[in-house]
Amino acid sequence: MPVLSRLDLHNYQKRAVQYIKDKRRCGLFLDLGMGKTSSTLTAVSDLLDEFLAHKVLVVAPLRVALSVWHDEIRTWDHLRHLSITSVLGTERQRLAALQRVTDIYTINRENLPWLVTHYGKKWPFDVIIIDESSSFKSASSQRFKALKKVAPECQYMILLTGTPAPNSLLDIWSQMYLIDFGATLGRTMSGYKQRFFEQQGYGGYTMTIRPGAAETIHKLIEPLAMSMAAADYLDLPDRLDIMHRVTLPEKSQQAYLAFERDLLIEFASGEDIEAASAAVLAGKLLQWCNGSIYTDEHGSYIELHKAKLEALSEIREDNSGETMLVAYAYKADLERLKARFPDAVVLDKDPETIARWNRGEISMLLAHPASAGHGLNLQHGGSLIVWFGLCWSLEYYQQFNARLHRQGQQCAVRILHLVADGCLDERVLLVLADKDATQQKLLLALKAKCHTGGANDIRI
Domain count, the chain: 2
Q: What is the CATH number of the domain that holds 383?
A: 3.40.50.300
Is residue 201 one of the residues assigned to a domain? yes
193 and 284 part of one domain: no
What rounded mean pLDDT belongs to the chain?
A: 87
Classify residue 454: in a domain, yes or no.
Answer: no
Q: Answer whether residue 189 is part of any domain.
A: yes
Answer left, alpha or beta for residue 89, where phi above 0 means left and psi between -120 and 50 means alpha.
left
Same structural domain, 436 and 291: yes
Instruction: Render pLDDT for 102-122 as a digit per residue (tens, 0 to 9).
Output: 999 999 999 999 999 999 999
The Cα–Cα gap between 418 and 312 comes to: 8
Q: Same domain for 287 and 332? A: yes
Same domain for 135 and 98 = yes
What is the C-alpha to C-alpha distance for residues 55 and 171, in angstroms, rounded to an integer? 29
Residues 161 and 276 in one domain: no
pTM, two decimal places:
0.65
Other Cβ atoms less than 10 A from the Cβ of 221: the count is 23
Q: Are residues 153 and 16 in the same domain?
A: yes
**pLDDT higher than 60, residue 90:** yes
Q: Which of 207, 233, 259 is the last residue of a domain?
A: 233
* 445 closest CA partner among 400, 387, 390, 399: 390
Residues 187 and 289 in one domain: no
Residue range 360-374, pLDDT digits in tens: 999 999 999 988 756
pLDDT of residue 86: 96
Would 84 be classed as within a structural domain? Answer: yes
Residue 454, pLDDT > 60, answer no
Residue at which a domain ends, from 233, 268, 288? 233
Do residues 424 and 381 both lie within one domain?
Answer: yes
Q: In the structure, what pLDDT confidence band is assigned to residue 185 with cuts at 50, 70 and 90?
A: very high
Per-residue pLDDT tens over the stretch 197-237:
998 766 556 788 999 999 999 999 999 999 877 667 766 77
pLDDT in tens, 266-311: 888 878 888 888 888 989 999 999 999 998 888 899 999 999 999 9
The per-residue pLDDT for 441 is 54
From residue 325, give the alpha-carbon distance in Å to each of 227, 312, 321, 387.
29, 12, 13, 8
The pairing of beta strand 413-420 with beta strand 324-327? unpaired
Based on the fold, state whether residues 356 and 326 are members of the same structural domain: yes
DSSP helix/strand/coil, 209: strand
Q: Residue 59: pLDDT above 80?
A: yes
pLDDT at 458: 30
Interval 398-414 mean pLDDT? 84
Are residue 407 and residue 345 in the same domain, yes or no? yes
CATH of residue 226's domain is 3.40.50.10810
> Are 228 and 253 in a shared domain?
no
Whether 455 is in a domain gets the answer no
Higher pLDDT, 186 or 64: 186
- For residues 312 and 188, membership in a common domain is answered with no
Last residue of a domain, one of 177, 200, 233: 233
Query: Strand runs (DSSP E) across 295-353, as ranges?
Result: 301-303, 324-327, 345-346
453 belongs to a structural domain: no
User: What does the pLDDT average to over 91-109?
Assistant: 97
Q: What are phi and psi of 130, to 5 degrees?
A: -105, 105
Domain that holds residue 194: 6-233
d(CA 83, CA 73): 9
Q: Is 67 exposed, middle or buried (0-12, 13-18, 19+ CB in 10 A)?
A: buried
Report percent pLDDT > 70 for the chain.
90
